[in-house]
Each structure stands twice: as structure tokens, then as C-alpha cells.
Structure 1
Amino acid sequence: MPTRLAFLGPVGTYGEQAARVLIEQAALEDVQLVPCVGLRSVVEQLAGGQCDAAVVPIENSVEGGVTATLDALWSHPELCIRRALVLPIQHALLGSGPLSRVTEVLSHPQALAQCSGWLAQHLPDALQLPTSSTAEAARMVAGSPFRAAIASQTAAREHGLDQLAFPVNDVAGNRTRFLLLRRGQRSEHGDVASLAFSLHRNAPGALLEALVCLAERGLNMSRIESRPSKRELGEYVFFVDVDLPPAPSTALADLIAHLQPLCEHLAHFGAYPSRDLSGC
């Protein structure tokens, strides 16, 4: 049976690009790519057993955390992260007509935000319409003389579109980090470990007490992000990435043992290798 891997579709998304690189890095064989509509659906396909793996974006260097992925991970703490990949993102404006006729620009909300400055300068009157993915935007504008999509150059080839402008992202160093998710046993060794937790109490010093657990063990926290718990106003879930020392090390197990009593819920997504393609 092939390994079914879910990603944010349709074909031509940055998620598909990341998935193909991660498949090679993880030495996965006989892989069937399964495009999904929406990031929550990508995670649900894995959690529900319809797929064996999934690739999702977790954060962007310009717009920050991908909230749909964070919320989906908190809903499925049984999943684990096997690998991370930082992918350079260069957006193009794609269409079937001239730039002068464009009155609507479609893309994923994060892509629209990453190109907001360019759009304000070059297409200030164009209506911006959100879609489920950049490649879905490319599919939707094909054949229209007045619609354009912000997507990858790969999406232009997949959907038969012309490149009207490139690059259109506001920040040259725009990058997105993607995760390879699986079910099964978590690794305790790798470059990075990812945790998420909620605290027993909302009181002065409660979060500091949790973070002291990292400092006391000399562990660098490379990312922290909060999301509403969705139970009541002012209650949050914290997502933390921790840089790990070289193996063998008991640092992660020791951290979890001391952090656990301070948390109402603690999700450990495992340790994993991370690679940055920005310099490649």
C-alpha cells in the first residue's frame, strides 16, 4: 500500500513543494499525495487514519504563526512532528489578461497580507478576495481577463497562467516553516522539540514559572506563541519550540517531567530535525 500524504491543495501550492522535499528528506517511498481543502482538513485526514502523513505550514517569517495549524495540533495531541523544513517564498501575480485590466486579486489570506504593500502601490483599487490556498486562487482566475492570483511560479505552469509580475511579496526574505506530521511514537532526539501547554491558573508569574523550567536547564526557546483556549476569555494555550543539545541527552525528558505539574494540559509533539532551504 502506498503512503498517503495529505497537503493543502490543489496542485501547485507551496505546501506541495514542501511535501516533495520532505518526502525526499524522510526517504519515504511509494508516496501518494492527497490534496485537501483547508489546513484543518489536512490534519483531520491524518488524525482520522485516512492518510499516513501530512505536511502543514506552521509559521511565516512575515505574518507569524499559522493559526489554523496551531489550533488543529492542539485538538490532536496524539500526532507527532517528524521533520521541519523552512521554504523560501516568492510570490508571483498570475493571470490570463494584462495587469492594467486586473480588478480582483485572489489568494490565501496570508499571501495577500505578505503582498499588501505591493498591492497598495500597483493595484490600489483592486478587490482582494481570500481563498483556501494560493493554488486554488490560481485555478479560480484561469481564463478571466480581470482576475489575478498571488501564487507560486509552479502554480502558473500547473494552471496555464501568465506571470504578470514577480516577485510581489513585500519582504525579500519571506520564508515559511512546514512540518511533516505522522501518527505513532515520538522521537526524543533532534534539533528541535515542540510542546504546547495550558496552565492550571491565570495568575501573576504562572507563565514565568513554566518558562523558568527551560532556563534552569540551559535550553533556548526559539519560538513561543499563544492561542485562545476557546473555553473562556483570557485563557490561553502556549506553543513553544525548544532547541535541543546533541544526542545523547535527557534534557527533553527532564524538561517535560518538571513542566508537567505546572500544566493543566501538556502536548509533546516530539523532537525532530529541521532544515532551512533559504541558503540553497
Structure 2
Amino acid sequence: MPTRIAFLGPTGTYGEQAAQSLIALEQLPQPELVPCVGLRAVVEQLASGGCDAAVVPVENSVEGGVTATLDALWSHRDLCIRRALVLPIRHSLLSSGSLDSITEVLSHPQALAQCSGWLARQLPQALQLPTSSTAEAARMVCGSRFRAAIASRKAGEEHGLKELAHPVNDVAGNRTRFLLLQRGERRCSGDVASLAFSLRRNAPGALLEALASLARQNLNMSRIESRPSKRELGEYVFFVDVELPVDSQVVLEALVAELTPLCDHLANLGAYPSSEQINDADGTPRTA
């Protein structure tokens, strides 16, 4: 049976690139990529049993957390993280026309934000239009001489577009961390563990008390982010990543046991290895 992996489509997205790399790292058998419209749909495909795995972006080095992914993870706390991959992001401006004829620029909102400085300098009068993905933007500008897309070079090749400029992202070290999600039992060992929790009480020092649990276990917190609980104003869900030692299983179990009585809801999203993709001078990707 093939292993069906959902990702943010269509073909040519950075999500597809990440999925292909994660398939190789996890050695998933007979992979079949399933493109989806919207990040929530990617997670829903996995949660409903329509796919065996899902690949989603969770954090960008420039724009921060991907809120749609965080909200979907909290909605489906039975899912777990199998592996993380940090992917370098190099955006191109793609079109069928020329740079001086562009009046509209299409892309995913995150990509538009990552290129906002370049757009302000080079195309200050151009209207910026959000799309469901960078590759969808590339598809939508095909044949237009006044529209351009911000997307990957691969998306440009897929749709026969000209590359008007590269790279157009404002920060040279622009990177996005992608997660491979699956159903089933959580792993207890790896480089990183991810937890999400809402606090049992909204009172002074409540969050500090929860975070002190990490310090008592001598764990370094590599990320913390909050999202509204969507139940009432001022109530939040916290997403935390911690770096794990070699004896990670015992430490993670102790941390979860210490946090549980402090939390209204606690989601242990699992421990997992984290890798980083590096592009060589000739553009060939390799995993570190």
C-alpha cells in the first residue's frame, strides 16, 4: 500500500520540496504526494484518515509562527510530530511579462511579507494579492504580462514563467521549519520535543510556574509562542519546543508529569529528530 502524504499544493510549493526531503529522511515506503488547498486541509486529510502523513510549515525565521498550523495542531491533539526539517527559502519574481509592466504581485501572505522590502523598493505601485500558496500564485499569473508571482524557481519551471528577479526575499538567511505529522504513538526520544498547553488558572505567576518545570528538568526552551484559545478574550494556548538530552525519554516523561496538574489541557506532540537542508554552491540540496 502506498504512503499518502498531504502537503500544501499545487506542485512546485516549498511544502512539496520539504515533503520530498522528509520522505527520504524517514524512508517512507511507496510515497504518494497529495496536494491540498490550505494548511488546515492538509492537517484535516491526516486527521480524517485520508492520508498517512502530512507536511506543514510551522515557523519562519522572518515572519515567525505559522498560525494556521498551530491552530490545526491544537484542534487535533491526537496527531504527533515525527520529524522536523529546516528549509532555506529563496523567492523569485516570476511572470510572463517584463518587470516594468508589472502592476500586480501574487503570492502566499507569508511570502509577500518576507519580500515586503524588495517590493517597496522595486514595485512600489504594484497591488499585492494573497493566494493559498506560492505555487498557486505562479499558476494564476501564467500568460499575464502585468501580473507576477513570488514563488520558487521550481514553480516557475513548472508553469513556464520567466524569472524577473532572484532572490527577492529581504533576508538572505530566510528559512522555514516544516513538520512531518502522523497518527499513532508519540516517540519519546529525539533532538526536540514539542508541547502545547492551556493553563488551569489565569492568575499572576501561572505561566512562570509552568515554565519553571522546564528549568527544574534542566531543559533549554528553544521556542515559545501563544495563540488565542478562541474560547474567551485573554485566554491563551502556549506552544513550547525544548531541546532534549541523550536520556530524553526519562526527562520528557518527568516534564509531562510535572506540567499535567498545572494545565487545563496538555498536548504532548512527541519527541523527534530535526534536520536542516543546505544548498551547495551549485544549488544542489543536502541535509545536515
Q: TM-score range by the shorter chain?
A: over 0.9
- Structure 2 CA distance, aligned partners of 1:184 and 1:191? 19
Q: Alpha carbons of 1:94 and 1:248: their partners in 2 closer, same or farther (altered >3 Å)?
A: closer
User: Per the alignment, in what secondary structure is the counterpart of residue 231 of structure 1?
Assistant: coil
- Structure 1 CA distance, aligned partners of 2:14 and 2:248? 35
TM, length-normalised to structure 2: 0.96
For residue 203 of structure 2, what is the aligned residue in structure 1? 203
For residue 51 of structure 1, what is the aligned residue in structure 2? 51
For residue 177 of structure 2, what is the aligned residue in structure 1? 177
Q: Which amino acid aligns with 1:22?
A: L
Contact 1:104 1:126 in 2 (8 A): yes
Residues 23-57 of structure 1: CA distance to partner in whole angstroms, max 9, x if unpaired? 00001121110000000000000000000000000
Contact 2:188 2:248 in 1 (8 A): no
Q: Which amino acid aligns with 1:71?
A: D
Residues 161-196 of structure 1: CA distance to partner in whole angstroms, max 9, x if unpaired? 010000000000000000000000100000000000
For residue 220 of structure 1, what is the aligned residue in structure 2? 220
Contact 1:190 1:247 in 2 (8 A): no
For residue 259 of structure 2, what is the aligned residue in structure 1? 259
Residues 126-152 of structure 1: CA distance to partner in whole angstroms, max 9, x if unpaired? 000000000000000000000000000
Q: Which amino acid aligns with 1:120?
A: A
In structure 1, runs of 5+ residues without a counterpart are none
- Tell me the matched-pair count: 280
For residue 282 of structure 2, what is the aligned residue in structure 1? none
For residue 10 of structure 2, what is the aligned residue in structure 1? 10
For residue 119 of structure 2, what is the aligned residue in structure 1? 119
- Structure 1 CA distance, aligned partners of 2:245 and 2:139? 45
The alpha-carbon deviation at position 276 of structure 1 amounts to: 1.3
Q: Which amino acid aligns with 1:36?
A: C
Q: How do 1:4-83 and structure 2 match up within 5 A?
A: 4-83=4-83
Q: Which amino acid aligns with 2:269?
A: F
The alpha-carbon deviation at position 248 of structure 1 amounts to: 5.8
Q: Which amino acid aligns with 1:31?
A: P
Q: CA RMSD in A?
A: 0.8
Q: Which amino acid aligns with 2:169?
A: N
TM, length-normalised to structure 1: 0.99
Q: Which amino acid aligns with 1:150?
A: I
Q: Alpha carbons of 1:248 and 1:81: their partners in 2 closer, same or farther (altered >3 Å)?
A: closer
Contact 1:57 1:177 in 2 (8 A): yes
- Structure 2 CA distance, aligned partners of 1:277 and 1:174? 12
For residue 283 of structure 2, what is the aligned residue in structure 1? none
Which stretches of structure 1, 4 residues or longer, exceed 4 Å deviation after superposition?
Answer: none
The alpha-carbon deviation at position 277 of structure 1 amounts to: 1.6
Q: Which amino acid aligns with 2:69?
A: T
User: Per the alignment, in what secondary structure is the counterpart of residue 225 of structure 1?
Assistant: strand
Percent identical among aligned pairs is 75
User: Per the alignment, in what secondary structure is the counterpart of residue 190 of structure 1?
Assistant: coil
The alpha-carbon deviation at position 201 of structure 1 amounts to: 1.2
For residue 93 of structure 1, what is the aligned residue in structure 2? 93
The alpha-carbon deviation at position 249 of structure 1 amounts to: 4.3
Residues 216-238 of structure 1: CA distance to partner in whole angstroms, max 9, x if unpaired? 11000000000000010000000
- Structure 2 CA distance, aligned partners of 1:211 and 1:265? 15
